[in-house]
Each structure stands twice: as C-alpha cells, then as structure tokens.
Amino acid sequence: MAQAPAFGPDGAMGGLETRLPMALGLLVEAMSLLGHDGDGVRRLLDRTMALLGDDDADEEHPAIARLAGLAPWRAQRAIVFVEQRLSTNIRAAELARDARLSRSYFSRSFKMTFGVAPNIYVLRRRVALAQEMMRTTDEPLCQVSAACGFSDQAHFSRVFRRFIGTSPRAWRRAQGCGGRTAGLDPDQVAELVEDPSGLRQGWYGRLAMEVAA
C-alpha cells in the first residue's frame, strides 16, 4: 500500500516537491485497482486530493487547484446537498465540509467542475426552483421567495431579474400559467397596491371586462 502523507515538524504537509511524487504513487496504485476494487480506488483518490488540496499548497501553487475539479462522487454529493437545502441558507463552508475538503480548495474545484462559483450555482438553482413553482402553483411570490431560500421578496426579485432579465411577476404573466382565471391572485393584488392605475388599463382592464361579460 502507498505510504501516508508526510508531515513536517509543525504538523503541516510536506512541500510540493514531496507531495507530488506521493500523489503520483497513489494514482498509479489507484489505476492498478480499477475494475476490481472501486472502494479502494475512491480511497486512494481521496488521499490524492487531500495531498493536492492542502491550503498551504493552494496559496503557494494555485494552478494545482485550478487543474483539479471535484471527483464525480463529490460533485454528485454537492448537487444533492444543495437540492435538499434550497429553502435554507447554504454556505460554501458547509458544502466544503460535506465534501471533506478545505473551503478554498473546494471553491476552486467546484468552479472547475460546474463552471461557476458555489454561491452562483446555488442562486441559479433557487431561481430554477422558483420558476418551477411559478409555472405549476398559484403560490404568491412571497411564498415562492421563502420556499426557495431568498431572504425576502425584494432579494428574490433582484436575483431573478439578474439571471432571467425580467421580474418574477412579469415572467409569470408571460408564461400564462400558475395564475387563477377569475378574480385577482395575491400577486395581482400586490401589484395593484403598487399601481392602482392598473385597474383602468392593461390586463386588469381586460379582466374586468371579461368578468362583466
């Protein structure tokens, strides 16, 4: 079996010139186990990533972290972690801890794998969930905002406009779904409070004429 990582007198991992040969040895051993010992391969890859993911190494040689994305099982674990907690506050430190990596190394590896930083990925998933809720339910935007983990409806609107290019209310109307066909839903009431003139024009006027007919 490959030797455990070498540590210096202060408890830190050895220098890059020590870690790279060790990492190479672990990879060679992992290749020899391919096809008949999946758990052994994963353990060796974890040890390799731990060697190359040391915080001191990241600061001294940031190219290492940029070249190494997350292992497939770690990427899948991150996806599940986010999907199960979209209604809560998700921090990069929590994702890194779940993946058993330092925060700095995890963040760089995550971006290498997914193309965006963890916080941007989480925001995109919140917006996607909000779109699904607006398409398939009549929930008011304040409820959608809370269910998708936004701090408040104003935050939800800012983030949604940033990624989609329009407000949640306008997007929902344009989809022609998720709203009631008679009367005003809570989102329409909120918009009416913001702009009472809407009673006499636009879709409010058309709705009034349809009800009167």
Compute and round to an integer the Cα radius of gyration of the chain: 25
Q: Are 65 and 109 in contact (CB under 8 A)?
A: yes
**Would you tell me how many other CB atoms lie within 10 Å of the CB of residue 70?**
22
Q: What pLDDT is attached to residue 3?
A: 42
Report pLDDT digits (tens) over 43-69. Answer: 777 777 666 654 444 444 445 445 568
Residue given tokens 């905002």 in the structure block: 145
Q: What is the 3-state secondary structure (H, E, C) of 154-194?
A: HHHHHHHHHHHCCCHHHHHHHHCCCCCCCCCCHHHHHHHHH
Q: What pLDDT, on the 0 to 100 scale, is given for residue 119?
A: 96
pLDDT for the residue numbered 139: 94
pLDDT score recorded for residue 124: 96
What is the pLDDT, as a whole number, of residue 17? 63
Is the pTM for the entire model greater than 0.85? no
Q: Low-confidence residues of the chain, pLDDT below 50?
A: 1-13, 54-62, 64-65, 179-184, 189, 192-213
pLDDT for position 72? 87
* DSSP one-letter code for 152: S
- Neighbour count for residue 110 (Cβ, 10 Å): 25
Whole-number pLDDT of residue 15? 59
> Which residues, in sequence order, are CB contacts of 111 under 8 Å at separation 6+?
117, 118
